[in-house]
Structure 1
Amino acid sequence: MRETDVSIIPKTLKKMKVLATSLILGLSFILADLTCLCYGALQVGFYRGKCGIADVEAIVAGVVTGRFIRDPAIVASLLRLQFHDCFVNGCDASILIDGTNSEKTATLNLNVRGYDIIDEAKAAVDNACPGLVSCADIIVIASRDAVFLSGGGRYEVQTGRRDGSVSLARNVNLPVPSMSVSEAIVAFAQKGLTAADMILLLGSHSVGVAHCSFFKDRLYNFRNTGRPDPTMDASLAKTLRITCPQDETLNNTVNLDQFPLDPFLLDNSYYKQLVLHRGILQIDQELALDPKTKAMVTTLANGFDFPARFGVAMVKLGAIGVLTGGQGEIRTSCRAINVHPT
């Protein structure tokens, strides 16, 4: 749906503040009882006691933390990876499969990142307990850990997914930035998600970037009017035109959240920017204008409960179309379906 592409050991006062905020929100949210939000055969702690003394989720967290220290932009990458996986065929890791016509090759997935992080985490858990942990579960665990590291609070993930064996580019039908709010609500509803879930999940746009091609029409020729989008703050439009010249073929990127001090902090500043008409993507800004979503955007912009509510929405996202029990498989490699002898 979007183009997304702080160190845990702080070196500056700001980074210390971000980490402290993350820990406080994480600890407070652990107290919330999410264990009642069970979906099918998924459960919190599915791997507990199944890998000897090893803690599967801690192994994945170690991989994600190590990468985050070097590249905090992985937060947006992993969130996008989970969204793009779950919205097509359900959360079955089908986006990870290589192939000339796999989901990876679809236009909307060409700039998805994070595959190598999942590979690294898969190798680490298989080293402890081979053939036990699905790639689909690793995506969900890794996204949760990235959210926590970026200050978004910690939520409990449900696991027990198995991996799918179908990955086709023609199946990729994701929401796009030019959608209206009504169209987006319908698209999310088809996946069992409410309008509120949609608004919360779009809060992931507080991290990450967007390529100019996804919003350049708003700067120069909105809806073929020959003029900029009148709903965009004029000073923001002026700034964005410097990065995204009208006739420039180079597809530059800008931060989706234009609050300049916290580009890697997952918080409610995204909603604050929308209220100020500083949304980058068309769908983002329309959330703050459409009567169906405006009130919730304003509430989130002025409130303090975004981290907790975002975690609940991520759990719901992670339950879409899951394979459990005798369905699917546990892939040996996340990039290929298992070869079964005939």
Structure 2
Amino acid sequence: MDRFPVSIKDVAREARVSIGTVSNVINRPEVVSEDRRRRVLKVIEDLGYVRNDVARQLKAGRSRTIGLVVQDTGNPFYNEIARGAEAAADTLGQAVIVGNSGLSHAREEVYLDLFEEQRVRGVLITPQSSQDRSRIDRLRSRGTPVVLVDEQAPASQYCSLAVDDVEGGRMAVAHLLDGGARSITFVGGPAALHQVADRQTGARTAVDAVPGASLDVVETTALTVLEGRRVGEELLRRPETSRPDAVFAANDLLAIGLLQAFVFDHRLRVPQDVALVGYDDIDFAPSAIVPLSSIRQPARLIGRTAVELLEDELAEDHRHRHVTFQPELVVRESSGGSAGPEPK
């Protein structure tokens, strides 16, 4: 049988007090006598009353929740950003709700619509497009602050934060070149993702600085382990003379898939036959079958800083700003390094 939610009126009637008294017990218990407070709390427990935060938000105009829209919750990098955002929000008495756009503009808009309807405190988002931000602009124009995550935007228009992916790509390939590699393959896609394009640009910069070095680009349809394995099998089908001596993958999931393809049945030795570097330094990287060298992004710090920027957005004297984080090369066995203690 359907049952309607217990209302504050039901509690007041059962406890034989006014609605105002029930409200005070919930929100300002210090102004209510001990006897009445106990009586109201017992009725709340007996009836199973749950405070209607949606109604409170409508009255206050702002909730205690933050909406976070990421491109792929299957990527541990975005999960780490969410953890950082949750940690920062928790210290402020707030909560984070995560939406996975799955690289879909339609799903991104669904979450933005939902968060706007729920009157969230603000939205943190890694947008699908760096060019078309019309939906985000509409959201902001109607009073919901927005911070762009893993995205560089003009500081005059948005608050945003990102890692210097061009430098990260340059660092990864410079490391492979320093190890003696000259035929480098960059694996990543879709190319429309600016993160992928920036890492490729950095890779190209490093190769162009070394005479005799070359860069081949293999585009993927997604940044997943399965796509990495597919490309790895493709590289294995090439004649030995046409194979690269090093591969830079646009993220660690691709790199792990490539590694699986290379070492299956001992078809290629990593790093002796082909050196490999990934990007993100996810938790799986050091525990891969060959510990994976990677470019580390401070994902949790990104999440925490995004919440701080959002709180700044709510201040009356706020000025937009962009925060750039620097990547870090973590060398392990897959590129010829030793699997020693993890860097702090």
Q: TM-score range by the shorter chain?
A: under 0.3
| Higher RCO structure (Cα 8 Å, ≥6 apart) | 1
Q: Which structure would you say has the larger Rg?
A: 2
Q: TM-score, normalised by structure 2?
A: 0.27
Q: Could you say which structure has the higher strand fraction? A: 2
